[in-house]
């Protein structure tokens, strides 16, 4: 009897976990209802999260479409959601003219864009491995890649602008910050928290790696032209301040 109960409970937990993943990272599409300069409204939905971002798409006929803007959800009230419209510059090319198409009512907005890809900021290998295994459906960018970029820029203390550049270069929609016992999914465009979770176990007694776990973090040095040590002294305090959390 106990074995049967345990098996049913395990299946239930597994199904809930799958549903959790889908509801968190599934792309959501809706049409712009009204547009006023760089603000627009859309119909609200439980799938819409304040701080999430996406793209605005203009269709030309049945098979042609192009991205004309970025969008960030600013607020929602259960009926409508307010979004901010920004130029889409992820694929900008200086040799080509900019696409001068303003969003209008009826254009499609796709939220949670590129949420299937994420950077990860973890203090050590154990937490990095635990988190990436817990979210197997996310395509995690290996931390060696952003670490190499920071090493090239002589930046051992990445700020919001640096992370924004890393998101753009690696075509990611999210950054996962592991701070103390919590995980914070940050939208790359708004840099707002869109989801949090708690780790059941942490490794508080281990030495944290800064600016984050990678196999080449020790190679991220300050430029010889910069006076003073710019390395992160306290991993948790630094990222709490960067994200504006307590």
- Whether the full predicted model's pTM is greater than 0.75, yes or no, is yes
Name the DSSP letter for residue 219. G
Report helix, strand or coil for 55: strand
Residue 240 CA to residue 182 CA, distance in Å, equals 11
117-243 under CATH 3.30.230, yes or no: no
Handedness of CA 158, 53, 75, 101 (dihedral sign): positive
What is the pLDDT, as a whole number, of residue 136?
A: 92
At 61, the pLDDT band (50, 70, 90 cuts) reads confident
> What is the C-alpha to C-alpha distance for residues 38 and 43, in angstroms, rounded to an integer?
17
Q: Per residue in 106-124, pLDDT tens?
A: 999 999 999 999 999 999 9
Residues 128, 125: Cα–Cα separation, whole Å? 5
Element (H or E) spanning 152, and its range? helix 144-152
What is the gyration radius of the CA atoms in the chain, in angstroms? 20
pLDDT in tens, 126-148: 999 999 999 999 999 999 999 99
Architecture of 26-111 per CATH? Beta Barrel (2.40)
Q: How confident is the model at residue 94 (pLDDT cuts 50, 70, 90)?
A: low
- According to DSSP, residue 206 is labeled S
Sheet holding 39-43, edge to edge: 28-31, 108-111, 53-60, 64-76, 80-86, 39-43, 34-36
The confidence score (pLDDT) of residue 93 equals 53
d(C-alpha 48, C-alpha 3), whole Å: 40
The torsion angles phi and psi of 167, rounded to 5 degrees, stand at -60, -45
| Whole-number percent of the chain with pLDDT over 90 | 71
Q: Quick check: 124 and 206 in contact, CB under 8 A? A: yes
Instruction: Write out the residue limits of the CATH 2.40.30 domain(s) in the chain.
Output: 26-111
Query: Measured between alpha carbons, how far is 158 from 225 in angstroms, rounded to an integer?
Result: 17
Q: At what angle do helices 144-152 and 160-170 cross, to 10 degrees?
A: 120
For residue 187, the tally of other CB atoms under 10 A from its CB is 26
The pLDDT value recorded for residue 99 is 65
The overall average pLDDT reported for the chain is 86
Integer Cα distance of 28 and 36 in angstroms: 22
Q: What residues does CATH 3.40.50 cover in the chain?
A: 117-243
Residue of 90, 244, 113, 110 whose CA lies nearest to 177: 244
* Mean pLDDT for the stretch of residues 208-228: 88
- Residue that has been written with the tokens 């993943």 in this structure: 21
pLDDT tops 60 at residue 176: yes
């Amino acid at each position: 009897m106990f074995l049967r109960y345990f098996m049913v409970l395990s299946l239930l937990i597994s199904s809930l976990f799958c549903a959790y993943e889908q509801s968190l990272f599934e792309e959501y599409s809706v049409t712009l209802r009204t547009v006023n300069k760089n603000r627009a409204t859309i119909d609200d939905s439980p799938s819409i999260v304040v701080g999430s971002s996406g793209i605005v798409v203009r269709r030309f006929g049945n098979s042609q479409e192009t991205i004309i803007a970025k969008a960030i959800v600013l607020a929602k009230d259960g009926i409508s959601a307010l979004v901010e419209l920004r130029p889409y510059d992820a694929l900008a090319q200086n040799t080509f003219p900019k696409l001068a198409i303003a969003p209008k009512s009826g254009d499609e907005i796709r939220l949670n864009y590129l949420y299937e890809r994420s950077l990860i900021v973890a203090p050590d290998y154990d937490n990095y491995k635990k988190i990436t295994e817990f979210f197997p459906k996310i395509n995690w960018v290996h931390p060696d890649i952003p670490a190499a970029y920071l090493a090239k820029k002589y930046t051992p203390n990445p700020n919001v602008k640096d992370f924004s550049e890393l998101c753009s270069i690696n075509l990611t929609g999210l950054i996962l910050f592991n701070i103390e016992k919590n995980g914070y999914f940050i939208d790359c465009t708004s840099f707002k928290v869109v989801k949090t979770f708690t780790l059941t176990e942490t490794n508080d007694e281990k030495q944290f790696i800064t600016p984050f776990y990678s196999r080449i973090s020790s190679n991220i040095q300050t430029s010889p032209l910069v006076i003073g040590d710019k390395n992160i002294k306290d991993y948790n305090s630094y990222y709490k301040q960067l994200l504006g959390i307590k």
